[in-house]
Structure 1
Amino acid sequence: MLSLRVVARSAPRTLNRLSSTALRQSRVARPSSLLKSSWAPLRSSQFASAFSTSQFRQSAAEVDQELSVKLDSELQFEGSMKEVDQYPASVKDFLENSPFELKDEPGKEDVTLTRKFGNETITVSFSISDLANYENDDLYNDESLNDDEIDVPEAGQRSAQSENDELLDEEDETNETPVPCRLNVVVEKPGKGALNIEALAQDGQIMVENFYYFKDPKLAHGETAETAHIAQDVYPGPPFGTLDEDLQLLMERYLEERGVTQALAVFAPDYMDIKEQREYQTWLKDVKAFIDA
């Protein structure tokens, strides 16, 4: 479920994307003969003369000014939604009490947590790109609904159902949960290769999806396109869900002992939301400064 801030930001844009998508689909769905007949007048000289630039002429200075004002209003809106300099308790407690060291480079999508555990180096990384991908998936699911798939209540039932829908909406707003956050965990030992664990942080839980082993630690990190390509050709191990249940539990305890705990599962989605907000505001400021220059 998206946070209230993300919903508020994306709501007006969603309508625009839906309308433009519907327009593109209506054009693509036409048979070729209809395309020819309907688009033929657009190529006529009469239409070309009617579509003159003078009809829609607007000076560059006016457009720049309008765009600058709009960017400024977006900045004010984002600032009113959340104070990015104030961390929630989950983030503050984790940063103060966790053995992990946070690396968050401004302008970058990825966030990295590192720590030492005996002779092991443990790296946990996640990306704010998950937030955008989650929004796009949510929008796609909304667009894929067909009218005939929606149950239309009878006249006598509409009032009661409308009240129930309002109650459900209010309940959803009061029970907002962070967007799921994908974690890439790498446990390295000198000269012994690395374990690469793909997990999901959601609802305060760590859910392991894959548990890989690589003799070359570089393949576990996949920092370049070349290493990622090489890693695809290496057998890393069976799917985690196919392992013996006791083995799965022991591997989960192995991660928990190294700090991949419920505290991390709560921290990562919350921090991902904070970083995305900060990066978006910085992007707005940079674009506005460029337009105003």
Structure 2
Amino acid sequence: MAFVSATASAFSTLLISVPSAARAGAGAGSCPQPGRAILAPLHAAKGPNSEPVVLESKVKGKKKKGSGAGNLPGALDVEIREAQEYLDSDEQEPVPENFPFEILDEEGMSVVILKRDYKDEKIEVIVSMPNLEGGPEFDDEEGEGNGESAGKDDEEEQDDDESAGDSSISLKVVVSKASDPKLEFTCTAFREEITIDDMLIVEKTDEDGEKFPYEGPEFTELPVNVQKGLFKYLEQRGITLSATNFMHDYMVSKQAQEYIRWMRKLKDFVKE
């Protein structure tokens, strides 16, 4: 299948990984973490000849130069203004025509829910806020400083661009049928690749008494062909690079919106 990024059309291989401690607390509300990578679907187990296909990243790092506000209400006003200016300048791409999910976005929440039906299955994807180092930062349009500071800003911008590809979103994919069990995948979607961090078979258990079900091997310990098949399984249900790249952009905008909303709540609370 062809994987299409937000800025380039290319056939992409995708990476699959599992952290060694991912099993602990892998419930529906937990957030996956990136782990060891193995290549899939053509090279599910990472080997000497397995190299990921890297697509061009369009995400740009944002570096704030400082607000200079001397009081809390003033500092909040500056922060809200800069975030709103960034949001206004960040053109949100329309939902792609082939995007298979319904988007459920509740105001004030830190996640977005994706839902779809596939044959006799129900697919639910919980998408977290983007993992951006230092949280949301927005450009300060006020030009200050001399040539030396401008040079430092250029170096920082270059560093931001180089690290932009590390931005990611976390996904929890739940595939269920009318009868038990369910499959739960925890994934991390980068701009150039998607990793599977863990996979569990979840069955209903008797609540009376403590149970210790066998959870299966680590994902990387599965046979290579099984790993390939499971990644293809997710791909057929809509977990593709084009879909996750769109959701990355969507979640960047949502993070800015929720940041502004949170700052306004704080301003309303502390104002005299």
TM range (shorter): 0.5 to 0.7
Contact 1:111 1:126 in 2 (8 A): yes
Query: What amino acid maps onto 2:240 in structure 1?
Result: T
**Equivalent in the alignment of 2:247:** 268
Query: What amino acid maps onto 1:135 in structure 2?
Result: G
Q: Could you tell me how far 1:104 is from its partner in structure 2?
A: 1.1
Residues 145-164 of structure 1 correspond to what in structure 2 (within 5 A)? none
Partner-residue secondary structure (3-state), 2:247:
helix
Q: Could you tell me how far 1:86 is from its partner in structure 2?
A: 3.5
Q: Could you tell me how far 1:125 is from its partner in structure 2?
A: 0.7
Q: Could you tell me how far 1:167 is from its partner in structure 2?
A: 8.3
**Equivalent in the alignment of 1:251:** 230
Instruction: Tell me the alpha carbon deviations over residues 123-145 of structure 1, each in whole angstroms, 9 at most, x when there is no partner.
Output: 111222x637x538xxxxxxxxx
Q: Pairwise CA RMSD of aligned residues?
A: 3.3
Aligned mates of 2:255, 2:242 — CA distance in 1: 20
Contact 1:209 1:241 in 2 (8 A): no
Contact 1:201 1:268 in 2 (8 A): no
**Equivalent in the alignment of 2:131:** 131
Residues 204-215 of structure 1 correspond to what in structure 2 (within 5 A)? 204-215=192-203
Contact 2:182 2:202 in 1 (8 A): yes
Instruction: Tell me the alpha carbon deviations over residues 209-232 of structure 1, each in whole angstroms, 9 at most, x when there is no partner.
Output: 21211113x9xxxxxxx9xxx89x
Contact 1:3 1:178 in 2 (8 A): no
Query: Which structure shows the higher helix fraction?
Result: 1
- Structure 1 length as normaliser, TM-score? 0.57
Query: Which structure shows the higher strand fraction?
Result: 2
Query: What amino acid maps onto 1:191 in structure 2?
Result: S
Q: Could you tell me how far 1:85 is from its partner in structure 2?
A: 7.6
Identity of aligned residues (%): 27
**Structure 2 gaps, min length 5:** 1-56, 136-151
Instruction: Tell me the alpha carbon deviations over residues 158-179 of structure 1, each in whole angstroms, 9 at most, x when there is no partner.
Output: xxxxxxx998755444453362
Aligned length: 193
Q: Could you tell me how far 1:67 is from its partner in structure 2?
A: 2.2
- Structure 2 length as normaliser, TM-score? 0.61
**Structure 1 gaps, min length 5:** 14-64, 137-164, 219-225
**Equivalent in the alignment of 1:120:** 121
Match of 2:168 among 180, 190, 195: 180
Runs of 4+ in 1 over 6 A off after TM superposition: 165-168
**Pair member with larger Rg:** 1
